[in-house]
């Protein structure tokens, strides 16, 4: 075998291993998601059981109505959570489609509500005001972007072991046709010498999964970066030790993707270029 063949074979092996690694990361993310939702589910079931008992105990119309209302809200939430997990589990292919980032963030927060309460994290949402009109859709694979959101939000939560504020800001960058997302925590921060390493595969300062079974593999940010790059977006970090960290993710709108396509950018994700 000559040298160029050998190099080609090595490259193929590396590609295959990278693909397997991404697959493993997706499974880890799915495992974490299932863990989160099982807890969340238990919580919802407790609500349903308690209101069913209340409705049975009290025969008056008002209490019964309230009980049914509460049961319906809780059950609807449970159905939505199951739908999300099933969508993540089923979706192996990448499907880029027009997606509303606000809805995606809201759905993700729904999955983490109990966890954030447990760790005394207050989530502040700074979304564009309704008067500015609807936020333009981004061209995205919703499941993958949700994987990014989960990792960034869980990292933020883990950076504030004693609770704290978590700010999620979404805005429209009209000039560049991008939607910007900032996830800011007021946690431990990242020392300057460590910042260049955080997107490296297997870089982690966590000793292992925490009591919620999360963190420690060092694959979270590496996969966030590769997912965002597949979307032709960018991810940046700013951090001050002891003050906090902000991750900024910029994702192209459908309009920008169309423009890029028109100028012949073949790598651009679009419904016509699903892989």
Ligand X SMILES: Nc1ncnc2c1ncn2[C@@H]1O[C@H](COP(=O)(O)OP(=O)(O)OP(=O)(O)O)[C@@H](O)[C@H]1O
d(CA 274, CA 266): 12
Q: Is 251 exposed, middle or buried (0-12, 13-18, 19+ CB in 10 A)?
A: buried
Which of 220, 233, 252, 269 binds ligand X (CB under 6 A)? It is: 220
Span interacting with ligand X, options 43-51, 113-121, 155-163, 227-235, rule CB under 6 A: 155-163
Binding partner of residue 219 among ligand X, Mg ion, none, CB under 5 to 8 Å per kind? Answer: ligand X
Q: Which does 227 bind (CB under 5 to 8 A by kind): ligand X, Mg ion, none?
A: none
Task: Check residue 187 for interaction with ligand X (CB under 6 A).
Answer: yes
Residue closest to 237 by CA, chosen among 156, 126, 176, 120: 156
Closest CA to 79 of 49, 45, 56, 113: 45
What's the min distance (Å) between Cβ of 168 and ligand X?
A: 13
Q: Are the CB atoms for 63 and 55 separated by under 8 Å?
A: yes
* Contact (Cβ atoms closer than 8 angstroms) between residue 157 and residue 121: yes
Q: Is 138 in the site for ligand X (CB under 6 A)?
A: no
Residues contacting 260, CB < 8 A, separation 6+: 232, 252, 268
- 227 part of the interface to ligand X, by CB under 6 A: no
37 binds, among ligand X, Mg ion, none (CB under 5 to 8 A by kind): none
| Choice between 81 and 222, CB closer to ligand X | 222
State how far the Cα of 275 lies from the Cα of 272, in Å rounded to an integer: 9
> At its nearest, how many Å lie between Mg ion and the CB of residue 185?
12
Residue 218 binds to ligand X (criterion: CB under 6 A): yes
C-alpha 241/C-alpha 155 separation (Å) is 15
Question: Which partner in Mg ion, ligand X, none is near 135 (CB below 5 to 8 A by kind)?
Answer: none
Q: Of 28 and 171, which CB lies nearer to ligand X in the complex structure?
A: 28
Q: How far is the CB of 205 from Mg ion (least distance, A)?
A: 10
Q: How many residues bind ligand X (CB under 6 A)?
A: 23
Which helix (H) or strand (E) segment holds residue 105: the answer is helix 101-118
Applying CB under 6 A, the residues found at the interface with ligand X are 151, 155-156, 159, 185, 187-190, 198, 203-206, 215-222, 245
């Amino acid at each position: 075998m000559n040298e160029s063949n050998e190099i080609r074979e090595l490259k193929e092996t590396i590609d295959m291993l990278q693909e397997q690694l991404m697959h493993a990361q997706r499974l880890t993310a799915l495992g974490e998601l299932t863990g989160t939702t099982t807890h969340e589910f238990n919580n919802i079931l407790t609500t349903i059981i308690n209101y069913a008992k209340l409705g049975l105990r009290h025969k008056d119309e008002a209490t019964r109505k309230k009980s049914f209302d509460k049961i319906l809200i809780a059950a609807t939430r449970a159905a939505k959570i199951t739908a999300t997990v099933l969508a993540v589990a089923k979706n192996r292919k990448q499907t880029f489609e027009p997606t509303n980032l606000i809805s995606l963030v809201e759905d993700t927060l729904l999955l983490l509500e109990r966890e954030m309460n447990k760790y005394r994290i207050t989530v502040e949402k700074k979304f564009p005001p309704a008067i500015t009109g609807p936020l333009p859709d981004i061209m995205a694979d919703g499941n993958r972007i949700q994987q990014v959101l989960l990792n960034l939000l869980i990292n933020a939560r883990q950076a504030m072991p004693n609770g704290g504020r978590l700010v999620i800001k979404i805005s429209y960058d009209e000039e560049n046709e991008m939607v910007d997302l900032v996830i800011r925590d007021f946690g431990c921060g990242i020392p300057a010498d460590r910042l260049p390493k955080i997107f490296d595969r297997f870089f982690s300062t966590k000793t292992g999964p925490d009591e919620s079974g999360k963190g420690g593999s060092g694959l979270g940010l590496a996969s966030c970066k590769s997912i965002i790059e597949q979307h032709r977006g960018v991810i940046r970090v700013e951090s001050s030790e002891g003050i906090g960290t902000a991750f900024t993710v910029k994702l192209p709108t459908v309009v920008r993707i169309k423009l890029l396509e028109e100028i012949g950018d073949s790598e651009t994700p679009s419904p016509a270029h699903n892989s």
